């Protein structure tokens, strides 16, 4: 399977321009034979544009994700639209299961090649350090998985990378590839490089972390989108400019690593 990470330039609060860049990236990736395209966290509004969250919020059936689904269908490519600010009340009114009757969430949606919505993931760990996310958003409660391209795919979002127990749950759910849409800023470059790799190594899975680039009032996204294989090897990565990061990934690689070095089989989960 060919995986493409769309490292987009995200402009604060410029929803229309950001969505256009996302659609263009999906189309370019499909033209390069990608099977699955991953967009960054809050690609439409920009993570640090906190003042714009409420007015930019939409249902998962709203205009932005409808267009992403249509683009997936038109180009015969799966897309993780990761993520938008979701208006939970509007999603509930549209018949979508939500974690709270009202409020906002940081929500990623997986679309299949035909544009069908296959999974909805709401960010579990909300970032409070120098961020208004914990004040503005509701955390997610579910960890969906998707079967695609021979993989069992899980999703986490940005700050989730710091919480290994979430990835252990994904392993227990059979996940072999985790997609991580992110909005990771400078100066925490070494943390970004460390967490993606170690989550791949300790769980013997592919980890594909897609970051944005762009300048906000108080932060700058650092890019460096990367695909790690189950041994922690970097298969493809970028600098801090807009880019399409592509890598060919195979389910057999996960099986071979887990068979050759069966660390997961040695886990002891009953220690106190």
pLDDT of residue 130: 73
pLDDT-based confidence at residue 85 (cuts at 50, 70, 90): very high
Residue 71 lies inside a defined structural domain of this protein: yes
Residue 83 lies inside a defined structural domain of this protein: yes
The answer to whether residue 41 is catalytic is yes
pLDDT of residue 129: 81
pLDDT of residue 2: 98
Q: Render pLDDT for 172-197 as a digit per residue (tens, 0 to 9).
A: 999 999 999 999 999 999 999 999 99
Question: Mean pLDDT, the chain, as a whole number?
Answer: 96
Q: Render pLDDT for 22-52 as a digit per residue (tens, 0 to 9).
A: 999 999 999 999 999 999 999 999 999 999 9
Q: Render pLDDT for 218-258 as a digit per residue (tens, 0 to 9).
A: 899 999 999 999 999 999 999 999 999 999 999 999 999 99
Residue 66 lies inside a defined structural domain of this protein: yes
The active-site residue out of 11, 41, 58, 133 is 41
Q: How far is CA 60 from CA 42, 180, 226, 271, in A?
A: 13, 19, 27, 41
pLDDT of residue 123: 98
The active-site residue out of 11, 87, 123, 138 is 123
Structural domain count, the chain: 1
pLDDT of residue 25: 98
pLDDT of residue 75: 98
Has residue 131 got a pLDDT over 80? Answer: yes
Residue 198 lies inside a defined structural domain of this protein: yes
Average pLDDT over residues 261-267: 94
The active-site residue out of 86, 133, 138, 158 is 158
CA 173 – CA 146 distance, rounded (Å):
11
Residue 272 lies inside a defined structural domain of this protein: no
Residue 271 lies inside a defined structural domain of this protein: no
Closest CA to 210 of 34, 73, 14: 34
pLDDT of residue 203: 98
pLDDT-based confidence at residue 271 (cuts at 50, 70, 90): confident
Let me know if 199 is exposed, middle or buried by CB neighbors in 10 A (0-12, 13-18, 19+): buried
Note down the domain range covering 201: 2-266
Residue 158 lies inside a defined structural domain of this protein: yes
pLDDT-based confidence at residue 128 (cuts at 50, 70, 90): confident
pLDDT of residue 230: 98
- Cis omega (within 30 of 0) on the bond before 83? yes
CATH number of the domain residue 230 falls in: 3.60.110.10
The answer to whether residue 123 is catalytic is yes
Global pTM value: 0.97
pLDDT-based confidence at residue 272 (cuts at 50, 70, 90): confident
Average pLDDT over residues 87-101: 95
Give the strand pairing for 213-215 and 226-228. unpaired
Strand order through the sheet with 234-237: 145-148, 151-155, 177-181, 206-210, 226-228, 234-237
Has residue 73 got a pLDDT over 80? Answer: yes
Residue 100 lies inside a defined structural domain of this protein: yes
Has residue 95 got a pLDDT over 80? Answer: yes
């Amino acid at each position: 399977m060919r995986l493409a990470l769309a490292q987009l330039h995200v402009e604060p609060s410029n929803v229309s321009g950001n969505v256009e860049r996302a659609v263009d990236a999906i189309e370019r990736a499909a033209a390069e034979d990608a099977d699955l395209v991953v967009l960054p966290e809050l690609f439409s509004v920009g993570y640090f544009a906190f003042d714009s969250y409420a007015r930019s919020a939409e249902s998962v059936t709203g205009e932005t994700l409808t267009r992403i689904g249509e683009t997936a269908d038109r180009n015969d490519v799966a897309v993780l639209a990761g993520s938008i600010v979701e208006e939970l009340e509007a999603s509930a009114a549209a018949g979508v299961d939500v974690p709270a009757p009202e409020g906002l969430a940081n929500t990623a949606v997986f679309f299949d090649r035909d544009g069908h919505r296959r999974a909805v993931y709401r960010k579990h760990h909300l970032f409070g350090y120098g961020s208004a996310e914990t004040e503005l958003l509701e955390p997610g409660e579910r960890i969906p998985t998707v079967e695609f391209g021979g993989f069992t795919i899980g999703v986490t979002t940005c700050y989730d990378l710091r919480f290994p127990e979430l990835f252990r749950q994904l392993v227990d759910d059979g996940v072999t590839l985790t997609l991580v849409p992110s909005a990771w800023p400078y100066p925490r470059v070494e943390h970004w490089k460390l967490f993606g790799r170690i989550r791949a190594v300790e769980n013997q899975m592919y980890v594909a972390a897609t970051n944005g680039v762009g300048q906000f009032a108080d932060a700058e996204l650092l890019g460096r989108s990367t695909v790690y294989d189950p041994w922690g090897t970097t298969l493809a990565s970028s600098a801090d400019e807009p880019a399409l990061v592509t890598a060919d990934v195979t389910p057999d690689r996960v099986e071979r690593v887990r068979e050759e070095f069966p660390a997961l089989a040695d886990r002891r989960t009953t220690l106190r």
